[in-house]
Every structure is written in C-alpha cells, then in structure tokens.
Amino acid sequence: MDFKVDIVKLKVQDADKLLQLSKRTFFDAFAHQNSDDDMAAFAAQAYTLERITQELNNLKSAFYFILVDGEIAGYLKLNQGDAKTEFKDEYSLEVERIYILQDFQGKQLRKHLIEFAVNSAKDKGFDSIWLGVWEHNHGAIRFYERNGFTVFSSHKFMLGSDEQTDLLMRKNI
C-alpha cells in the first residue's frame, strides 16, 4: 500500500461535509439500479442537514471519515443501544452505513472500515456486529461473506415508492 489511511471520528461541525458525501455515495451506489423519482424521494427525506445534524448529535451513534492521504474517501456509521435501526439488544453493534467514493474503490478501504467496526465492537464488549445490505448489492454481500458475516434475517426497506428487501447479516466476535 503506497498511501496513508486514517479513520477519524466526525463532530457536528462536519455535518455539511457528511451530507454532501452521503448524497454522492448513495447516488453513485444505487442510482443506476433505481428510478430517479425513488432516489430523489428517498434523498429528500434521508439526506437533509437537519437529519444529519440530528444523527451526529446522537450519543449512541458515531460517524467516521476514512481518509486517504488526508483526502476524504468514504464514511462509516455505527449504532449502539436505542440508536440501532432494529435488534436493539445490548450485545451487538450495528453498521448502518459504509460507503466509499468511486474514485477510491479498489483500495481495500471497505476492509479497513469493517475491521475498524469489528474492533470497535470488541472494545465495547459486544459479542456481534450486524448490518443490512440490499439483496441486489451482490458485490457487497460477497464482501461481507468473505469477512465472516452470514445472513440471519431480512427486512423491507422503502426507497421512495419502491419496496425493497435488505438482507441482515451478522458476524459473531
């Protein structure tokens, strides 16, 4: 590896940067497989400065930028306790979001982030880590399987007016 990778925790002052990064990575990842209307409807609800600021202020959630040579390359969101979207048990940590900008794909940055998340879970005394991944995101599913995650459930997810299915995957630690 001929570049420096850092993972830094975000503060509320990072809300604007996080909002722009969140929108960009979400559209890069999913716009080609979904309608413009559904993408716009979801973004209008999920990616607002007010919502991002609220999420950053939640003490049970944490956002992290992954930097490559000091440049923002992606981000991670971890949830515990009542910040978790589901399975609000006290023994697991949720990876709610993990995104890498297209320009930084292929640099093993997702692996850095998932290892960081697993180590965070261990440090906090959790016995598992879990996440949801769209059933049609086959590359991500394979990545998580290679990193020890297995499907344990699923849930419905509304992207605009399109009901989709997320696979829920867990790794015991």
Asked if residue 107 has pLDDT above 80, the reply is yes
With bands split at pLDDT 50, 70 and 90, how would you rate the model's confidence at 1? low
**Cβ-based neighbours of 27, under 8 Å, separated by 6 or more:** 39, 43
The residues assigned a catalytic role are: 144
End-to-end CA distance of the chain: 27
CA–CA separation, 138 and 167 (whole Å)? 11
Q: Is residue 30 part of a domain?
A: yes
Question: Would you say residue 93 has pLDDT above 80?
Answer: yes
* Residue 38 in domain: yes
| Structural domain contains residue 146 | no
Query: Residue 46 sits in a domain of what CATH number?
Result: 3.40.630.30
Tokens coding 33:
């497989």
Q: In the prediction, which pLDDT does 48 show?
A: 96
Each residue's pLDDT tens digit, 42-80: 999 999 999 999 999 999 999 999 999 999 999 999 999
Which tens digits make up the pLDDT trace of 110-126?
Answer: 999 999 999 999 999 99
Instruction: Please give the C-alpha separations between residue 91 and each of 69, 81, 155, in angstroms, as whole numbers.
Output: 35, 9, 20
Domain contains 104: yes
Q: Measured over all CA atoms, what is the biggest interatomic distance in the chain, rounded to whole angstroms?
A: 44
**Domain assignment of residue 67, given as a range:** 5-127
Q: Is residue 55 one of the residues assigned to a domain?
A: yes
Is residue 139 a part of any domain in this protein?
Answer: no
Task: Establish if 167 belongs to a structural domain.
Answer: no
pLDDT at 90: 81
3-state secondary structure (DSSP) of residue 3: coil
Question: Are 148 and 171 contacting, i.e. CB atoms less than 8 angstroms apart?
Answer: yes
Tally the domains of the chain. 1
Q: Is 137 domain-assigned?
A: no
